[in-house]
Amino acid sequence: MSLKRILFITLLALSLLVFSIHASPIRRAEVGKKVSITLDKLGGTITFEQTSAENVTVSGQITKGLTVDDPTVYAIAIGYLYKTFEQLGIVIDLPGTKPFSGTAPGNVDVLVDQELDIIQILDGGKLA
């Protein structure tokens, strides 16, 4: 076999591989699949449910343990990402929160085995 033919076949195979990877649909969790966490110290549960092929609905409530009536002071952190209660629209009703829910694009399968923390922000600002 000539070098040109080998090079052509190799490039064709690589092109088909790249095309098949990009053309494959993104795998999502099955609609209805749920993952949740029980927050013993805060008397609450947060549940994430795959409500469509593209969207996840999160719902929950905290019933105890909050001491400050300011939604910018608390945050939910999953891995390196966090959002304050204010950013998530969670309303504080001391000593907990009102029931909350929201829907966003996502996949509950990526949440399995992730760490979820409720954080109280004591102080901070932007680095300069």
**What is the tens place of the pLDDT at every residue in 50-68?**
999 999 999 999 999 999 9
Identity of residue 21: I
Mean pLDDT value across residues 9-35: 64
List 100's β-bridge partners, or say none.
Answer: 60
The total of other beta-carbon atoms located within 10 Å of residue 97's CB is 20
Q: What is the pLDDT of residue 4?
A: 54
Mean pLDDT value across residues 106-119: 92
How do residues 26-53 score in pLDDT, each as one tens digit?
A: 677 899 999 999 999 999 999 999 999 9
Token pair for 119: 């954080």
Q: Which residues contact 83 (CB under 8 A, 6 or more apart)?
A: 75, 76
- pTM metric for this prediction: 0.75
Token pair for 90: 């969670």
CB 106 within 8 A of CB 51: no
Sequence spans of domains, the chain = 34-120
Distance of CA 118 to the CA centre of its chain: 14
